[in-house]
Structure 1
Amino acid sequence: MNDITGAVQDDGGLRAVLRALRTSPLPRCVLAVVVATEGSTYRKPGALIVLPAQGARVGWLSGGCLEAELEAAAADVLREGRARHLRMDTRGDDDLLFGSASGCRGVVELLLMPVDETSPLLAALRRLDTSARLELTLSADGAGEAANDTGSWQWPASATSAPGRWSLSLRAPERLLLLGAGPESMPLLRLAHLLGWSVEVVESRARWHAALTSADALHRDTAEVPALLETRRFAAAVVMSHHFSRDLAALRHAAAGEIGWVGLLGPIARRDALLAELDADLRARLLPRLQAPVGLRLGGEGPEAIALSIMAALQSRSGT
């Protein structure tokens, strides 16, 4: 039997869930979808958790206090082959003393659905990486539909009729483009994946390729950059080759493109020298989107600390 957890040990967030669901053929499992919340909750509507018949859960519902109840409910769903609406209420004193003991004072509602390789919902989720969003409509009896700009899917109820219908919008994992590589690349890739980002790298110098094997895509020809910026959906780019002319070319491409957040690695004097080489029009287009020097001031030095500061800046972007 395929193990859905083995391939996702270095991933986090929605990225980990989607990678687990790309296991082919997918073993029998339950997909839990947070459909509504009230008060203080660890996860919000649209969060996904995969609970396989065999193996470890992928994704979290809480800090651990609600997982036992969720796993027990998922076992029932697998045994019966029917969807289930689950409501967890931690607002009362009874829950604090005799229930989850979390003290979070919130309500989380989930729809648990059995899925396998033939499930239309699985097909829809496997296409989420190729589209910015997936619109879901789910009913308490397990029926639902999904749609994005690549197609639409529908599936029938798997349980008796029950009140409850929810509309959710799932956003695909954020996509990061690294223009150039250096000693920060490997820790940055690891941190980005743990935080749920997809990462593509453009680097033609062969000496860095061994450090980039975990990238979602490695582009070895810098001539590909204009096409990448035109055809891919990148939330952010970081210019980080440690080479002046390479970084200058990358900044020109980034300035001409539409990426809303561009980071530049290096000190202020180097930034100013690079900007002085840009045409006035390109410089004016780039400056509102540029963070340079890239990263938050967290303290520390060396590749790992720099990678952490870059990821912290990326996570703190408005809307992330």
Structure 2
Amino acid sequence: MPIVVEPSLPPPPLGGLRALVAGVESLAAARRDGVLCVVVGSSGSTYRKPGALVLLDAAGVRVGALSGGCLEAELEARARDVLANGSAQSARFDTSGDEDRVFGSGTGCGGSIDVLLLPLPASNAPLRRALRAADARDVELVLDFVTDGERLGSGEACAGDERYRFDERGGAVDDDIAFATTGHVRVAPAPRVLLLGAGPETRPLLALTRLLGWRVELAEHRERWLRFATGSGIDDEHRDGPDRLADVVAATRFDAALVMNHNLDLDARCLRALAASAVPYVGLLGPAARRDELLAEIGDARDALRARLHAPIGLRLGGEGAEAIALAIVAQLQQEFARAAHA
């Protein structure tokens, strides 16, 4: 029976940190100033936690969210003030008391959130360069800020061994100028996933992972199966076959590898290679009986996989078909990534 693949479509839009970096670059290309809002503290129940980023310009929020929509109007007003004055500001949004229910946002969330609103000048913004560097190098971004006083909003950003210093107006600062930072946040790089094999699940899987801002690479050497990934927004492709898989996983950080070849022999070869790798999450598509057959086939390699192997892959959400499978896989991955981030 022939494989029917839909005509190539534009890749789904990006989300998450990658969308914010793209938005920052878009503002710079258009020579428009922006405002980067950084959550530097929170208490109680809040929509976003420290390290969350939101990008705004004169028209309002471009990328990200501070709340479910109830705080954005005030955030946009504050950002317009930053754009007009050219200097950073701090803001606290408190939804914990009775006054907020009657006179404020009315959310009833019961928490507070502290935000720095930092200018991103179109001409020369070290923060923009730091975001770009962290994204390109796939490293954590470490941000330190002055959170009060005359130099509020100044600080430095570190992307690996690269350091970018900025003043309260978002401009560059010489290394010999000292300031005492009192706020510290970390922004993790986007999760990175390796798909081993393409199939009917690839397109819906890529739609969801791109909306979450993950980086996804594909290892697939079979031409007819590659058609499932055409136009899906894969970040990189590896077409050398499973015998070169060890080189792929050794060269790049992967948070997860998903074995989805729809072929027993290829899946077994991939599992052997992953058993010798440091990839912390290995997912295997297919029913439990198929899993057991594969584990028996790979012999002693299964012992190195047991603590990392998720098979059958995906949360048991119910439903059937490629879209339901993709949703179950992404839901389990999101759960695992969140757990690892808070470990």
Q: Which residue of the partner structure matches residue 135 of structure 1?
A: 142
Q: Structure 1 residue 150: deviation in Å?
A: 3.9
Q: 1:259 aligns with which of 265, 274, 279?
A: 279
Give CA deviations for 1:242-295 in whole Å, capped at 9, x if unaligned: 011211121111111100110000112211221122141x21111111011111
Q: 1:230 aligns with which of 250, 272, 277?
A: 250
**Root-mean-square deviation (Å):** 2.2
Q: Which residue of the partner structure matches residue 3 of structure 1?
A: none
Cα distance in 1 for partners of 2:11, 2:116 equals 23
Cα distance in 2 for partners of 1:56, 1:156 equals 23
- Alignment of 1:207 onto 2:224: yes
- Alignment of 1:169 onto 2:186: yes
Cα distance in 2 for partners of 1:103, 1:232 equals 44
Cα distance in 2 for partners of 1:207, 1:73 equals 53
Q: Which residue of the partner structure matches residue 29 of structure 2?
A: 25
How does 1:31-180 map onto structure 2 within 5 Å? 31-54=36-59, 56-115=61-120, 116=122, 118-129=124-135, 130-140=137-147, 141-158=152-169, 165-180=182-197
- Between the two proteins, the alignment pairs up a number of residues equal to 311
CA change 1:133–1:98 in 2 (3 A) is same
Q: Taking structure 2 as the reference length, what is the TM-score of the superposition?
A: 0.85
Cα distance in 1 for partners of 2:114, 2:181 equals 10
Counterpart of 2:73, as a letter, is A
Structure 2: runs of 5 or more not aligned: 1-9, 171-178
Q: Structure 1 residue 117: deviation in Å?
A: 5.2
Counterpart of 1:316, as a letter, is Q
Counterpart of 2:29, as a letter, is P
Cα distance in 1 for partners of 2:123, 2:195 equals 34
Cα distance in 1 for partners of 2:324, 2:311 equals 16
SS at match of 2:90: strand
Comparing 108-117 with 58-67, greater Cα deviation is found at: 108-117
Q: Structure 1 residue 34: deviation in Å?
A: 0.4
Cα distance in 2 for partners of 1:231, 1:240 equals 21
Q: Structure 1 residue 25: deviation in Å?
A: 2.1
Q: 2:330 aligns with which of 308, 311, 316?
A: 311
- Alignment of 1:271 onto 2:291: yes
Comparing 254-263 with 50-59, greater Cα deviation is found at: 50-59
Cα distance in 2 for partners of 1:185, 1:8 equals 12
Q: Structure 1 residue 54: deviation in Å?
A: 4.3
Q: Structure 1 residue 186: deviation in Å?
A: 0.6
Counterpart of 1:11, as a letter, is L
Q: 1:219 aligns with which of 204, 223, 238?
A: 238
Structure 1: runs of 5 or more not aligned: 1-6
Cα distance in 1 for partners of 2:110, 2:22 equals 32
Give CA deviations for 1:211-246 in whole Å, capped at 9, x if unaligned: 323111122222542222112111111000101121
CA change 1:262–1:37 in 2 (3 A) is same
CA change 1:246–1:150 in 2 (3 A) is farther
Cα distance in 2 for partners of 1:247, 1:153 equals 44
Q: 1:292 aligns with which of 290, 311, 314?
A: 311
SS at match of 2:318: coil
Cα distance in 1 for partners of 2:11, 2:293 equals 42
Cα distance in 2 for partners of 1:138, 1:228 equals 38
Q: Taking structure 1 as the reference length, what is the TM-score of the superposition?
A: 0.90
Cα distance in 2 for partners of 1:104, 1:170 equals 24
Q: Structure 1 residue 55: deviation in Å?
A: 6.7
Cα distance in 1 for partners of 2:161, 2:128 equals 14
Counterpart of 1:93, as a letter, is D
SS at match of 2:40: strand
Cα distance in 2 for partners of 1:225, 1:117 equals 43
SS at match of 2:326: helix
CA change 1:241–1:87 in 2 (3 A) is same
